[in-house]
Amino acid sequence: MENEKTVSIESELADVSNQQFTTKRATVPALEDILYTPHKVLDHGFIRVVDYMGDDNAVVQAARVSYGKGTKKVSQDRGLLRYLLRHRHTTPFEMCEIKFHIKLPIFIARQWIRHRTANVNEYSARYSILDKEFYLPSPEHLAAQSATNKQCRGDTVTPEEAQKVLEILKEDSERCYANYKYMLNQDENGEPQDETRAGVARELARMNLNLNYYTQWYWKIDLHNLMHFVALRADSHAQYEIRVYAEIMKEILKRWVPNTYEAFQDYREGGVNLSRIGLEIVQKLIRGEQVDQGNSGLSKREWKELMESLGLDI
């Protein structure tokens, strides 16, 4: 059931989205179609585009300003975009920006904020009371610690263990929120719930809440750094709870700048970066020379990654 705060935010955004503006700036119809529309993520989260600046052509314009008037054919524009991305000329992509409104669990927000190339303004629990909304993973996303990678999950746990974990998460979250409300001793309007006691400040009461509670923020980023974020966080090795947000962003990226997105898929997502030694190994393999991990100059992990990227089993 939606709380009053969520209904109020949705109502305000509906009012904004119903407004019509005449502009000389470039607009992207495919992105305009989903402007302000929330895309549901996890159990209570969402992501929506609230504003943007620029399009594929803006990148092209920024690149050509350095050498004057250039070609204007669509095919040549596409070729230039691909050249820029292929050769890592990133500045022209920084001329486009996009702003998101995102609702996400706090523990994902703390991982997300490591991308320090965006402008962020987060909902403040110093001034407002957090809603009783916390993330509970689906049983299929509960897994044990990986035995080979300290950063990720391994095999899923048994149904019985998953049920126990979910019960613990829910019980702890419910209890912490009850204690949070007790410490606040305030309703949404700041009125005391129990006039016999004062309660503590919101900035203090918030420290009792779990990391699975939801927060919200506005997150504005340029196109170059958005592609970097998506490349890392939509990757299969990324944590599931942040990956689902990045996958939606990838679809938004496709709507916003389709030619840039095509190049991004070819050179970033679907491409492979080779080290000097890696390139030498590929050249030896092409010449038919025998190469193995022992004489390659690569560590076992580097060798494994190179062979997987080449689709080889050597």
Active site residue 233: yes
Residue 3 has pLDDT above 80, yes or no: no
Q: Which fold has domain 4-135+212-269?
A: Gyrase A; domain 2 (3.30.1360)
pLDDT of residue 135: 96
d(CA 27, CA 15) in angstroms, rounded, equals 20
Q: Which residue has the higher pLDDT, 125 or 22?
A: 125
pTM: 0.86
The active-site residue, picked from 48, 202, 206, 233, is: 233
pLDDT of residue 84: 94
Mean pLDDT of the 191-212 span: 87
Residue type, 173: S
Selection from 13-17, 65-69, 245-249, 273-277 with the highest mean pLDDT: 245-249
Note the pLDDT tens digit of each residue in 228-238: 999 999 998 89
Instruction: Sketch the domain layout of the chain as residue ranges.
Output: 4-135+212-269, 141-211, 276-310
pLDDT of residue 177: 94
Residue 275 has pLDDT above 80, yes or no: yes
**223: enclosing H helix or E strand:** helix 223-233
Judge whether 219 and 213 are in contact, CB under 8 Å. no
Helix 276-286 and helix 300-310, axial crossing angle in degrees, nearest 10: 50
Note the pLDDT tens digit of each residue in 38-74: 999 999 999 999 999 999 999 999 998 865 555 566 6
